[in-house]
């Protein structure tokens, strides 16, 4: 369908931008932050951290930054920086050892897949075939490290009879890293979405477990990204202070950058010079503000609108008409949502108040919202949750505290309820 619009592919793909040459062209409005990121990675041995709201562009930013560092360090031999193209996540299920196994396997695979280039770039005098044997070992591939009875502490327990010793593999990768890099160089590993650990207490515990092992390894450089203040909160913990840097704040793109974003994608993906994007800069910016500056949600809506245009055979309008259609479509979407939700007046009042506050509140602030207990407020929050207008997430060190945040559908209804008045653009 994108060909009908005159483009090679989806202009509004919601996946993060990759760390490659095209990704570098697509990333707009982050020059200052990129400089800061690279200074932190190259100038310090501590873990670089990134903090920013959901869907703002953290993953894209760090992957492109890593790619630029890799490019700029070509020709620097063992001081080179390599980017591991897939970010890691710290999950609740994985132990520190599971995580280490994943990271080391990814590093080993990266070297094996790029052996020829890396051998000359890093003047690598290290045979990779023992690592290959490890990676092909079915026990290694399928087994969870903890299930196999290993601990980070050193001792190997189970599976000795099969000659399976994970620590042998770790030692081998350590030797590879030592022979590949000097003190300046390293492979850049990104831990993304730290907020999936839910509370900063858990996140802190997980990162502390890695502090003296993975985070201190010769030849590995770390970046940790997260949303909702979790990185900031963890970085200030006693045991991690001095090891985790102060986070780089990623804030929503400016109006100029949004304009640039659309134009850059048009240039990158157009099949002919006069191709007109289904959602041009004006409408994109409008949606971006309606959706509380969440770039991921904005792209999603732009994709949905494009699909609607295509389904209704309207791919060939000029920009002005498309802008008008977009506004009508957006209003129709919110009307359809509106007709389907059943929310009592008290909950609507709360919803409006949450939006006024910027979209996130804590139930412990119940008095501010006219409730005499957080229990009473909880009932109304549940109504909003059932209507998919907000989500509640655990936050902070205290398990009972939650954050209530408005989601995309909620912002669209907010737009409807405020009479489609345009938010400041």
Ligand X SMILES: Nc1ncnc2c1ncn2[C@@H]1O[C@H](COP(=O)(O)OP(=O)(O)OP(=O)(O)O)[C@@H](O)[C@H]1O
Residues making contact with ligand X (CB under 6 A): 13-17, 26-30, 52, 54-60, 193, 227, 253, 261, 295-296, 299
Which of 286, 14, 268 minimizes the C-alpha distance to 277? 268
The backbone torsions φ and ψ at residue 285, rounded to the nearest 5 degrees and listed phi first, read: -65, -40
- Integer angstrom CA distances of residue 225 from 20, 41, 283, 299, 392: 19, 14, 30, 21, 21
* Distance in Å, CB of 59 to Mg ion, minimum: 3
Residue 180 binds which one of Mg ion, ligand X, none, with CB within 5 to 8 A depending on kind? none
Residue 261 binds which one of ligand X, Mg ion, none, with CB within 5 to 8 A depending on kind? ligand X
* Distance in Å, CB of 327 to ligand X, minimum: 22
Residue 290 binds which one of ligand X, Mg ion, none, with CB within 5 to 8 A depending on kind? none
- If binding means CB under 5 A, how many residues of this protein chain bind Mg ion? 1
* Distance in Å, CB of 185 to ligand X, minimum: 26
- Integer angstrom CA distances of residue 316 from 2, 110, 301: 12, 45, 19
Q: Which two tokens stand for residue 384?
A: 């909003």
Which of 305, 393, 311, 405 minimizes the C-alpha distance to 351? 405
- Integer angstrom CA distances of residue 133 from 99, 109, 172, 348: 20, 11, 12, 61
* Distance in Å, CB of 425 to ligand X, minimum: 18
Residues 353, 363: Cα–Cα separation, whole Å: 12
Q: Which two tokens stand for residue 393?
A: 């997430």
* Distance in Å, CB of 243 to ligand X, minimum: 23
- Integer angstrom CA distances of residue 115 from 107, 126, 156: 12, 10, 30
Residues 319, 150: Cα–Cα separation, whole Å: 61
Q: Return the number of the residue (29 or 247) whose C-beta is nearest ligand X.
A: 29
Residue 148 binds which one of ligand X, Mg ion, none, with CB within 5 to 8 A depending on kind? none
Q: Return the number of the residue (52 or 363) whose C-beta is nearest ligand X.
A: 52
Residue 15 binds which one of ligand X, Mg ion, none, with CB within 5 to 8 A depending on kind? ligand X
* Distance in Å, CB of 258 to ligand X, minimum: 9
Q: Return the number of the residue (21 or 133) whose C-beta is nearest ligand X.
A: 21
Residues 361, 381: Cα–Cα separation, whole Å: 11
Residue number, nearest CB to Mg ion: 59
Q: Return the number of the residue (193 or 334) whose C-beta is nearest ligand X.
A: 193
* Distance in Å, CB of 214 to Mg ion, minimum: 21
* Distance in Å, CB of 260 to ligand X, minimum: 8
* Distance in Å, CB of 272 to Mg ion, minimum: 33
Does residue 49 interact with Mg ion by CB under 5 A? Answer: no
Question: Which of the ranges 52-60, 133-141, 235-243, 318-326 carries the binding residues for Mg ion, by CB under 5 A?
Answer: 52-60
Residues in CB range of 20: below 8 A, 6 or more apart: 67
Alpha-carbon dihedral angle through residues 403, 407, 412, 418, given to the nearest 10 degrees: 0
- Integer angstrom CA distances of residue 290 from 208, 311, 353, 356, 359: 39, 24, 16, 13, 12
Does residue 59 interact with Mg ion by CB under 5 A? Answer: yes
Residues 251, 260: Cα–Cα separation, whole Å: 16
Q: Return the number of the residue (29 or 219) whose C-beta is nearest ligand X.
A: 29
Does residue 294 interact with Mg ion by CB under 5 A? Answer: no
Residue 29 binds which one of ligand X, Mg ion, none, with CB within 5 to 8 A depending on kind? ligand X
Question: Which of the ranges 29-37, 55-63, 158-166, 368-376 carries the binding residues for Mg ion, by CB under 5 A?
Answer: 55-63
Q: Return the number of the residue (56 or 131) whose C-beta is nearest ligand X.
A: 56
Q: Return the number of the residue (180 or 235) whose C-beta is nearest ligand X.
A: 235
Residue 282 binds which one of ligand X, Mg ion, none, with CB within 5 to 8 A depending on kind? none
Q: Evaluate whether 95 touches 205 at the Cβ level (below 8 Å).
A: no
The residues of the shown chain that bind Mg ion, judged by CB under 5 A, are 59
């Amino acid at each position: 369908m994108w060909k009908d619009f005159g483009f090679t592919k989806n202009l509004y793909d919601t996946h993060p931008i990759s760390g490659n040459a095209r990704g570098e062209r697509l990333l707009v409005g982050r020059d200052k932050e990129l400089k800061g990121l690279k200074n932190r990675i190259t100038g310090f041995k501590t873990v670089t951290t990134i903090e920013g709201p959901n869907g703002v562009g953290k993953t894209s930013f760090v992957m492109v930054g890593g790619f630029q560092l890799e490019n700029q360090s070509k020709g620097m031999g063992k001081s080179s920086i390599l980017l591991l193209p897939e970010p890691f996540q710290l999950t609740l299920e994985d132990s520190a050892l599971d995580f280490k196994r994943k990271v080391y396997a990814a590093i080993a695979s990266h070297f094996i897949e790029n052996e020829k280039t890396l051998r000359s770039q890093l003047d690598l005098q290290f045979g990779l075939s023992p690592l290959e044997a490890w990676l092909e070992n079915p026990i290694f591939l399928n087994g969870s490290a903890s299930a196999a009875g290993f601990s980070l502490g050193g001792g190997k327990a189970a599976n000795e009879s099969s000659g399976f010793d994970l620590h042998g593999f770790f030692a081998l990768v350590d030797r590879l890293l030592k022979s590949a890099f000097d003190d300046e160089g390293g492979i850049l590993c990104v831990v993304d979405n730290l907020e999936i650990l839910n509370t900063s207490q858990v996140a802190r515990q997980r990162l502390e477990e890695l502090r003296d092992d993975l985070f201190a390894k010769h030849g590995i450089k770390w970046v940790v990204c997260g949303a909702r203040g979790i990185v900031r909160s963890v970085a200030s913990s006693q045991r991690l202070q001095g090891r985790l840097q102060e986070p780089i704040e990623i804030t929503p793109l400016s109006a100029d950058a949004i304009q640039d974003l659309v134009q850059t994608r048009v240039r990158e993906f157009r099949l002919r010079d006069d191709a007109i994007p289904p959602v041009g800069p004006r409408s994109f910016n409008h949606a971006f503000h309606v959706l509380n500056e969440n770039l991921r949600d904005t792209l999603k809506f732009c994709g949905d609108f494009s699909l609607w245009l295509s389904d209704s055979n309207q791919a060939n309008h000029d920009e002005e008409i498309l802008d008008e259609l977009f506004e009508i479509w957006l209003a129709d979407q919110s009307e359809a949502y509106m007709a389907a939700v059943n929310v009592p007046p008290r909950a609507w009042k709360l919803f409006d108040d949450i939006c006024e506050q910027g979209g996130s509140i804590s139930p412990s602030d119940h008095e501010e919202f006219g409730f005499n207990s957080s229990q009473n407020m909880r009932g109304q929050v549940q109504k909003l949750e059932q209507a998919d207008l907000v989500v509640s997430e655990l936050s902070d060190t205290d398990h009972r505290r939650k954050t209530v945040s408005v989601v995309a559908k909620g912002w669209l209804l907010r737009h409807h309820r405020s009479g489609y008045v345009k938010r400041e653009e």
